[in-house]
């Protein structure tokens, strides 16, 4: 119960903040310490980023690094935010916000702010926000150390317990991720990719240093945040409008300002993990049949072509560029949804697909795919991103808008037959000596155009390769009584060790029946 002095102090503070544009809703965050209000707008955030880019980069200081280093993976996992103290635990937003603690692997503080009526107030860090063991090193941290990241919990009045379930998480550098309608996290996105896999350059990981939560109207099914990005070569301002529907939809508006030249500026970057799948698995490498968060890159080009490129775990770092102008979309997808193909309790079969839908004109550039060797599932070894054709130079300003679809399938599925499996093995004919240097490929398609073929009509595969020779080409219906399920097989004879780029699609006369299968084959691997 408040005594008279506390009551008068609270009443005075309430009147002052109300006069500055804060309603009682924003101040009713039980147990959260809030800083003084300051004017805020997205335009002001963009001006701040532009101003920062004109100055030398200064990394955010890591408070008490010797203490943070003691908060290793295990210690970090024992530090839990108290959900009763969540931002908007009692409204007005349907989606409360909880926060991640800093630790050995998250040593840069992210300053969190609440915005209402054009005024922003910082949420001041306090160890009292977290449940932690009595001997946790985190108890030694100074006041207002900062947070590592945040997550949006499920709806307060939804079908799931919001205190135990979340649907968006931002943690580490500019990384973030969301679940789809299958209620499972998987691949990640990030605000920006700087010089990924560029020879002679170290990759940069710019940080979201400040995050601003826009106070929504009661009952809204969307949330809006703003983020300030800062790194050695670039500063930027981001706006995220996120909707929790069957899938998670994010509309992203970004303004970037370059401090330095960047060799490979990756926009709308996606990051995933591909270890192995049904098409290629080293003998007895693991007991599970497949392990991957994504199994392919899907492209919808500016000219309308639909392309599927299965992912590789290559023998060395490989970057592939798919030139385009104003692409209609691209994404890293998990098409294989059969649990029996994974047999793992972490549910790889439920991992979301992530589709990028450009907004406005993106001009000329390329969708670039970086594949990095890995020998374990703990490493994200796949990056897909849009790289503008125009070189990224110091002093340049870029604006980009796009929509993200975190879903089970592509949001705009092709009417053509899709690739559903890629397999390969030794070439040649059964019962004969298998010739060296010959590989047999089997590509499976399924879709409506293949169900409509007249009886006796066999679709024709259209094949091409950057080098080598095709033989033993055969197309047939898969003998499983599934309508529209066909496969084409062929042998590739090739010498040397350099990768081979292959293309294949099905047609009947002049009618294209399937999307285009692209594959990069490594003969010596």
DSSP string for 282-330 = -TTS-SSS-EES--EEEEE-TT--EEEEE----SS-EEEEEEEES--EE
**Residue 497 belongs to what domain range?**
418-521
Query: Which residues have CB under 8 Å from 26's CB, separation 6+?
Result: 114, 116, 121, 215
Looking at the domain assignment, is residue 383 inside a domain? no
The β-bridge partners of 514 are 417
Looking at the domain assignment, is residue 467 inside a domain? yes
Q: Give the burial class of 499: count Cβ atoms within 10 A of its Cβ; 0-12 exposed, 13-18 middle, 19 or more buried.
A: buried
| Residue 380 to residues 104, 204, 478, Cα–Cα distance (Å) | 19, 16, 34
Distance of CA 479 to the CA centre of its chain: 37
Q: Which helix (H) or strand (E) holds 227?
A: strand 222-230
Helix (H, G, I), strand (E, B) or coil at 15: helix
Using the structure block, give the residue that is written with the tokens 């490493």: 379
Looking at the domain assignment, is residue 396 inside a domain? no
Residue 349 sits at φ, ψ, to 5 deg, of -70, -15
In the chain (525 residues long), the average pLDDT of successive 10-residue segments reads: 33 37 47 95 98 95 92 96 96 96 96 97 96 95 93 94 97 97 97 96 97 94 97 98 95 98 98 94 91 98 98 97 98 97 96 98 98 96 98 98 97 97 90 84 98 96 97 96 97 94 97 98 85
Query: Rounded to whole angstroms, how far apart are CA atoms 188 and 170?
Result: 10
Looking at the domain assignment, is residue 502 inside a domain? yes
The structure's pTM equals 0.93
384-398 burial, b at 16+ Cβ within 10 Å, e below that, comes to bbbbbeeebeeebeb
Structural domain total, the chain: 1
Angle, alpha carbons 237-171-232 (nearest 5°): 50
- Nearest Cα to 442, choosing from 488, 480, 476, 484? 488
Helix (H, G, I), strand (E, B) or coil at 333: strand
And the tokens for 176?
Answer: 């973030």
Looking at the domain assignment, is residue 95 inside a domain? no
Instruction: For 188-205, give the DSSP string.
Output: EEES-EESTT-TTSPPB-
Distance of CA 171 to the CA centre of its chain: 12
Radius of gyration (Cα) for the chain, nearest Å? Answer: 26
Return the pLDDT at 23.
Answer: 46
Looking at the domain assignment, is residue 489 inside a domain? yes
User: Which of the 8 DSSP states describes residue 137?
Assistant: G
CATH number at residue 427: 2.60.40.10
Query: Rounded to whole angstroms, how far apart are CA atoms 132 and 129?
Result: 10
Query: Rounded to whole angstroms, how far apart are CA atoms 245 and 407?
Result: 10
Query: Rounded to whole angstroms, how far apart are CA atoms 72 and 105?
Result: 7
Return the pLDDT at 525.
Answer: 66
Q: Give the burial class of 59: count Cβ atoms within 10 A of its Cβ; 0-12 exposed, 13-18 middle, 19 or more buried.
A: exposed
Query: Which residues have CB under 8 Å from 301's CB, separation 6+?
Result: 307, 322, 324, 327, 328
Return the pLDDT at 27.
Answer: 42
Looking at the domain assignment, is residue 454 inside a domain? yes
Does residue 45 contact residue 79 with C-beta atoms inside 8 Å? no
Looking at the domain assignment, is residue 323 inside a domain? no
């Amino acid at each position: 119960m408040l005594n008279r002095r506390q009551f008068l102090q609270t009443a005075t503070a309430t009147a002052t903040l109300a006069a500055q544009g804060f309603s009682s809703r924003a101040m009713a965050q039980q147990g959260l310490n809030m800083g003084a209000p300051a004017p805020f707008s997205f335009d002001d955030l963009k001006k701040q980023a532009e101003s920062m880019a004109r100055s030398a980069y200064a990394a955010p200081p890591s408070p008490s690094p010797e203490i943070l280093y003691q908060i290793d993976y295990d210690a970090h996992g024992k530090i839990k935010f108290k959900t009763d103290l969540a931002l908007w635990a009692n409204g007005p937003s349907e989606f409360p916000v909880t926060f991640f603690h800093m630790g050995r692997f998250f040593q840069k503080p992210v300053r969190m702010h609440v915005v209402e009526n054009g005024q922003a107030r910082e949420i001041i860090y306090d160890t009292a926000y977290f449940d932690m063991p009595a001997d946790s090193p985190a108890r030694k941290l100074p006041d207002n150390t900062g947070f590592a990241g945040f997550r949006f919990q499920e709806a307060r009045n939804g079908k799931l317990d919001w205190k135990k379930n979340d649907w968006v998480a931002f943690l580490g550098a500019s990384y973030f991720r969301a679940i789809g309608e299958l209620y499972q996290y998987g691949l990640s996105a990030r605000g920006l990719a700087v010089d990924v896999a560029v020879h002679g350059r170290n990759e940069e990981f710019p940080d979201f240093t400040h995050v601003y939560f826009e106070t929504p109207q009661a009952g809204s099914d969307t949330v809006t945040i703003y983020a300030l990005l800062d790194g050695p070569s670039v500063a930027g301002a981001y706006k995220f409008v996120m909707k929790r529907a069957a899938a998670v939809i994010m509309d992203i508006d970004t303004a970037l300002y370059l401090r330095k030249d960047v060799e490979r500026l990756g926009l709308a970057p996606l990051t995933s993990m591909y270890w192995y799948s049904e098409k290629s698995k080293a003998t007895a490498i693991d007991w599970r049949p497949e392990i991957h968060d994504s199994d392919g890159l899907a492209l919808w080009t500016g000219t309308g072509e639909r392309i599927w490129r299965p992912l590789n775990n290559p023998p060395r770092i490989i970057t592939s560029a798919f030139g385009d102008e104003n692409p209609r979309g691209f994404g890293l997808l998990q098409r294989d949804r059969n649990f029996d193909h994974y047999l793992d309790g972490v549910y790889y079969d439920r991992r979301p697909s992530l589709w990028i839908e450009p907004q406005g004109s993106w001009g000329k550039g390329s969708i670039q795919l970086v594949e990095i060797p890995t020998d374990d599932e703990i490493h994200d070894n796949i990056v897909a991103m849009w790289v503008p054709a125009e070189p990224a130079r110091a002093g340049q300003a870029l604006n980009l808008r796009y929509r993200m679809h975190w879903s089970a399938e592509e949001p705009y599925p092709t009417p053509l037959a899709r690739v559903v499996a890629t397999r390969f093995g030794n070439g040649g004919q059964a019962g004969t000596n298998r010739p060296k240097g010959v590989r047999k490929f089997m590509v499976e398609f399924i879709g409506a155009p293949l169900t409509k073929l007249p009886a006796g009509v066999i679709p024709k595969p259209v094949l091409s390769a950057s080098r080598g020779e095709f033989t033993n080409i055969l197309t047939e219906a898969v003998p499983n009584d599934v309508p529209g399920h066909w496969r084409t097989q062929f042998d590739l004879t090739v010498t040397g060790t350099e990768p081979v780029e292959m293309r294949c699609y099905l047609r009947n006369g002049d009618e294209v029946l399937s999307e285009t299968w692209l594959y990069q084959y490594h003969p010596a691997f």
